[in-house]
Structure 1
Amino acid sequence: MGHTTRMTVGQALVEFLANQWTVDGDHVERTIPATFGIFGHGNVAGLGQALRQANADRPDLMPYHQARNEQAMVHQAVGFARMHRRRATYAAAASVGPGAANMLTGAALATANRLPALLLPSDTFATRVADPVLQQLEHPHDPGIQVTDAFRPVSRFFDRVQRPEQLFSIALAAMRVLTDPAETGAVTIALPEDVQAEALDVPDEFLARREWHVRRPRPDRGALERAVRAIRAAERPLIVAGGGVLYADAENELRALVEATGIPVGTSQAGGGVLDWEHPQNLGGVGATGTLAANRLAADADVVIGIGTRYSDFTTASRTAFQNPDVTFVNINVAPFDAHKHGTQVPVIADAREALVELADALAGVSVSAAYAETIAREKADWDRTVDEAFAPSGLALPGQPEIIGAVQAASAPEDVVVQAAGSLPGDLHKLWRVRDPLGYHVEYAFSCMGYEIAGGLGAKRGALADGSDRDVIVMVGDGSYLMLNTELVTAVAEGIKLIVVLIQNHGYASIGHLSETVGSERFGTQYRAYDRDERNFQGEDILPVDLAANARSYGIETVEIAPGPGAIDDLRAAIGRAKASPESTVIHINSDPLIYAPDGAGWWDVPVAEVSTLEATRSARADYLEQRRAQRPLLG
């Protein structure tokens, strides 16, 4: 029998995690470089003690970072993971009951985005010796159910360490899922509070350095041949590039393919950055929030080549984007689930980079027609002029969001990272932001979680710093999302991590307000207004006297307030320049007019409208909805 060391479950898990390494070709890095933790009675004596012991004995073994909210810990881990192309993430430890429950939203976000995060929520006593303990759920029909069971449907992997010796197999299984590009997402190991502190003999083998090699499967020969035949026969092919291109580190291979063939590219939200915005084949975002250029070509495309995309309803414009009745989908994805979407007869289950290399070789000599190339160039040029016009300062006292985006764009550097997640900003950014770096566009739009922005931005900045980059991370957030989760500004202050936060105040939920109007709900409940006791609603004109700039300033953050007026956009651009020159975090507060919209990209999103109503606005919206839905194609799968 080999050598063993007597350790608690918490101590063994911390040391195990410290010795896990991701290997992706020549790239090697620690899979879990650090741990977040908020402590309570459920984990303070287990993982809390283990992290403190590691800090005292070997400070570099497993660095510990504070957070102010359990959900935000997971958002930081996800932001870090995206910047590291899914090769590394953080662990996040929470206590029993409410601490664990607070992580659920983060878990769902990680899984929806196919981004790894290791979650270590605590459970109540496995022995049930002190039953029920503080913060324990009680179900008379099933006493074994606890808060952590809620992680099962939102995790890619879930298990509970009910006995110390189970740790070995559970930890290894968790690492397998974290580092599998087709399976990754939230990985949850539930840890009863008594088991965390129990001791066992831990074999040296469990604690030794272990390498997890990222799978990069090549396409099956037959599948590749079918894909090549379909593409060679296409007259109007279109590539839809998703996040899988970036996670496979395949943007160079994509660029080589489209330059050789002339095939245009539309991107999903996760795929922003796969090509520089100026590239002749880059038509920008596609789908419900896409550009007019990409959507016009999507409508007529006879072959759609999806690469690393999960084909969300926004990417397909709720299945109205692709109108060619004979359209063929060639779906290249490392995950079979995504490769088979839309009933495709040409799924290619492979790593994006490996598939692109082989496609480029097999398509040598293939290029789009001169007429199609001319159409691509014309549509791109027309949209670029449209964006220029949208970015032009209007001189209004309250600028529109497109102008604000244009000012941020003009003041940012090519390598800077813009971070966003929810509200009207994702749609406007998808259409308008001119991405100049593969990792420069960071919009969480699989879960579109309000409150992700600041925490996710902090994770993205940690990811950049870990790579030795001092690129700025610019968080753009509306007042609605800011109010959901802004406390990680304190974390930025505590660790001296620099963020630039552009806080856009429009006194409500601009995105849902607009959507509410289009579905006949008359912006009900979407504006921040004083309660009207006579009308019993919040639809009045009395804007709340809430000072969000003062809130940010109270955290110890340098805060700049842009006064309304014709020079607001110039002032914003100058403020961002000063923020970039500063070594500290800055919050820039600016008021906007939520009724000034980005240019139309001819995308549609299926949000059902009430079939019957006493409201004329709803009846009118229903008629328009039925007309729009006529373009929806019942694609299989």
Structure 2
Amino acid sequence: MTATKRMTVSQALIEFLANQWTVDGEIRERTIPGVFGIFGHGNVAGVGQALAQLHAREPGLMPYHQARNEQAMVHQAVGYARMHRRRATFAAAASVGPGATNMLTGAALATTNRLPALLLPSDTFATRVADPVLQQLEQPWDTGLTVNDAFRPVSRYFDRVQRPEQLFSIALAAMRVLTDPAETGAVTIALPEDVQAEALDVPVEFLQEREWRIRRPLPERAALADALQAIRSAQRPFIVAGGGVLYSGAEDALRAFVELTGIPVGTTQAGGGALRWDHPQYAGAVGATGTTAANRLAADADLIIGIGTRYSDFTTASRSAFQHPAVRFVNINVAAFDAVKHGTRVPVVADARETLVALTDALAGSAVPQEYQERVAAENARWDAAVDAAFAPSGRDRPGQPEIIGAVQEMTAPEDVIVQAAGSLPGDLHKLWRVRDALGYHVEYAFSTMGYEIAGALGAKRGLLAAGDDRDVIAMVGDGSYLMLSSELATAVAERIKIIVIIIQNHGYASIGRLSETVGSERFGTQYRMYDTAAGDFQGPERLPIDLAANARSYGVDVIEIAPGPDAVDALRRAMAAAKESDTATVIHIESDPGISAPDGHGWWDVPVPEVATLESTRTARAQYERERTAQRPLLGEGN
């Protein structure tokens, strides 16, 4: 007879999660080491009670952490997962209605970035006995629909526990997706508030420790042979290294491969850290926000080797980056969906590390021509000089963003982590930040979510601390993103978690303002200005009298304000030194000049411009757009 325990659905789920383990080679860690939660009537008696009961019985088995915003809970889980290379993440529990839907953006972010996060949104009554309940959305054409159905398109797995007995199959299926390198993303289990509190007989076996081994599939023999043939026959191959390199733990294998072959490497946003910035084969960022070195090499390459990349439009410069008339593609990816993109005839559906090891063993004695290696060195030297010039202090009262990045870079340790997500900073960091550690660069640019930075940095720091690593985590955030979501500063204070947050105030949306100019919209609606009643717009000269430093101080963090002046960059260096010496969370506030851009990396991004317009600026932009679009290729793998 099977041994059972009488438990509620919530009690069984929380205890089940506490006993799930991820195994990756010799690494074994809890898949779900904790739960973020905000309680309401939909979950306080379910998941909330279950967490309280387990904590009373076995403190520390499933820690609960308060959060201030439901979206930020998911961002924290993603930041944590990034630092653990997708082996672990947090659960995020929210109440019915607005609490649940507040997590939708976080779910989309997790899925787009291929990073695991477990979402536990509460749902309205499965029995409908009190229909409609508080915060329930009603649709007369489908009375069974709830707001949680909105999670379906943004989740890699979605299910709803309509009856207690469904918990077992749903929980196991959710764990499979969370730990699957090809399928992972947001995993959503909707929990009706009545079902959460219902009891059932739970098999003891369901509650015992269970291991989930991460798959590291080897390349198939035929696919490996095709890849080797393509590499051996190439004269100017180029590697695009994406986040899959890091999630596979393949950075050492990549380094060995390029040192053997001499093939240059460009990284995507997610791939930052795959190779140190000063490695001879590293050409920097590639694509729309790339370096001149990487983009020139990519344009002339006769073979592109994509490793763990999903080939976003920024990576391919909207399919204009690879211009060789006979360019071919070898795509190495654990996900077949990404491996077959853009017309490649050589998809290698396998683990990045295992494939690189196999390629390196088979290519012993092979290397690209010496003149190609010399060109790589020359392109890198030119770009390094451009970065040095961009970092040089100008003495302006309000420094440009490149100067600010340079000063922060100078004051960080090689292992420190930079976190960013949206605005003009991702592009500037992608070009300029000199990554010195595999985990040192975390720019969430798949969904590029304004407001991710502080919560993501907090999650990243949690992840590092859980691994016994106390390196500093620095979030750089523009005033636009800060205003979107700054509340997790209170969480950092409450849990005494040290992060460094640099608010760069440019009085508006610097990135979109710059883009607005390029598409002929003249920065309309992109600056923070007082409403001009006479003109009926926000285009006047009077700036919004906002004090973000005072706002940050109200959360209880230490705040260092840097006054505009010719010594602002030196003051920033001193502020960074003080923040790194401190044991508490610190916010540094500095004003910048949004008109100063990073060096041009010769990348393009397809943003359509109106075909007809009365604005002369728009007509001029359209003409430029039509010229640039001629370099676009409808199918990247045409040369295959």
Q: What is the TM-score of this pair, normalised by structure 1? A: 1.00
Aligned to 2:546: 546
The CA deviation string for residues 549-602 of structure 1, in whole angstroms up to 9 with x for no partner, is 000001111100101011000000110001000001100000000000000000
The CA deviation at 1:625 is 0.3
Aligned amino acid, residue 522 of structure 1: E
**Percent identity between the two aligned chains:** 77
Residues 463-518 of structure 1: per-residue CA shift (max 9 Å, x gap): 01001011000000000000000000000000000010010000000000000110
Counterpart of 1:301 in structure 2 is: 301
1:410-431 superposed Cα distances (whole Å, 9 cap, x missing partner):
0000010000000000000000
Equivalent runs, 1:314-325 vs 2, <5 Å: 314-325=314-325
The residue that corresponds to 2:221 in the other structure is 221
Which whole-Å CA distance do the structure 2 matches of 1:556 and 1:141 have between them?
Answer: 48
Q: Aligned with 2:216: secondary structure?
A: coil
Secondary structure of residue in 2 paired with 1:521: coil
Partner of 2:108 in structure 1?
108
The residue aligned with 1:505 is 505
Partner of 2:609: 609
RMSD across aligned positions (CA): 0.6
Matched, 1:380 2:388: no
In structure 2, what residue type is equivalent to 1:79? Answer: G
Matches within 5 A, 1:76-95: 76-95=76-95
Aligned to 2:357: 357
8 Å Cα contact 2:319/2:636 also seen in 1: no
1:193 aligned partner: 193
2:516 is the counterpart of 1:524:
no
Residue 620 of structure 1: how far off its partner (Å): 0.4
- The answer to whether the 8 Å contact 2:322/2:636 transfers is no
Q: Which residue number corresponds to residue 123 of structure 1?
A: 123
Partner of 2:421 in structure 1?
A: 421
In structure 2, C-alpha distance between the alignment counterparts of 1:67 and 1:620, rounded to whole Å: 48
Secondary structure of 2:610's aligned partner: coil
Match of 2:179 in 1: 179
Q: How far 1:71 moved relative to its partner?
A: 0.2
How far apart, CA to CA, are the structure 2 residues paired with 1:122 and 1:533? 44
Q: Is the 8 A contact 2:461 2:497 kept in 1?
A: yes
Distance in 1 (alpha carbons) for counterparts of 2:250 and 2:373: 24
Query: Which residue of the partner structure matches residue 239 of structure 1?
Result: 239
| CA 1:368–1:636: 2 relative to 1, 3 Å | closer
Instruction: Give runs of aligned pairs for residues 236-635 of structure 1, distance below 5 A.
Output: 236-635=236-635
In the alignment, which residue of structure 1 is the partner of 2:44?
44
Do residues 211 (structure 1) and 211 (structure 2) align? yes
Q: Contact 2:2/2:203 (CA < 8 Å) preserved in 1?
A: yes
Give a deviation string over 1:259-290, Cα, whole Å, max 9, x none: 01100000000000011111000111000000
Cα distance between partner residues in 2 of 1:424 and 1:279: 26
Q: Which runs of 5+ in 2 are unaligned?
A: none
2:533, 2:298 → 1: CA distance? 50
Q: For 1:59 and 1:629, locate their aligned partners in 2 and report how far apart those are by CA, in whole Å.
A: 60
Aligned 8 A contact 2:529 2:539 in 1: yes
Tell me if structure 1 keeps the 8 A contact 2:235–2:369.
Answer: yes
Deviations for 1:355-413, whole angstroms, at most 9, x for unmatched residues? 00001011111101111010000000111111000000000001000000000000000
Cα separation, 1, equivalents of 2:70 and 2:238: 41
The letter for the 2-side match of 1:228 is L
Deviations 1:223-269 (A, max 9, x none): 00000000000000000000000000010000000001100000000
Report the 3-state secondary structure (helix = DSSP H, G, I; strand = E; otherwise coil) of the residue aligned with 1:516.
Answer: helix
The one-letter code matched in structure 2 to 1:20 is Q
User: CA–CA distance in 2 between the matches of 1:254 and 1:300?
Assistant: 22
One-letter amino acid of the structure 2 residue matched with residue 6 of structure 1 = R
**Is the contact between residue 398 and residue 564 of structure 2 (CA under 8 Å) also seen in structure 1?**
yes
CA distance in structure 1 between the aligned counterparts of 2:271 and 2:134, rounded to whole angstroms: 45
* Equivalent AA in structure 1 for residue 491 of structure 2: T
Q: For 1:87 and 1:326, how far apart are their aligned partners in 2?
A: 39
Alignment partners' CA distance in 2, 1:607 and 1:52: 50
Once residues 80 and 69 of structure 2 are traced to their aligned partners in structure 1, the CA distance between those partners, rounded to angstroms, is: 17
Which amino acid is 2:306 matched to?
G
- Which has the higher mean CA deviation after the structures are superposed, 459-468 or 52-61? 52-61
| Aligned-partner SS, 2:442 | strand
Q: Take 2:609 and 2:383, find their aligned partners in 1: how far apart are those partners?
A: 31
TM-fit CA distance, 1:95: 0.4
Counterpart contact for 2:43–2:193, Cα < 8 Å = yes
Give, in whole Å, the separation in 1 of the partners of 2:532 and 2:545: 15
1:161 aligns with 2:169: no
Q: C-alpha distance in 1, partners of 2:612/2:540?
A: 26
Structure 1: gaps (5+ residues):
none
Distance 2:525 2:122 in 1: 37
Give CA deviations for 1:441-484 in whole Å, capped at 9, x if unaligned.
00000000000000000000000100101100000000000000
DSSP 3-state at the match of 2:149: helix
User: What's the offset of the Cα at 1:636?
Assistant: 5.8
Distance 2:145 2:507 in 1: 41
- Matching residue's letter, 2:409: Q
Quick one: which amino acid aligns to residue 250 of structure 1? A
Please tell me the residue identity of whatever aligns with 2:417.
V
Provide Cα deviations, 1:3-42, integer angstroms capped at 9, x if missing partner.
1000000000000000000000101000000000001110
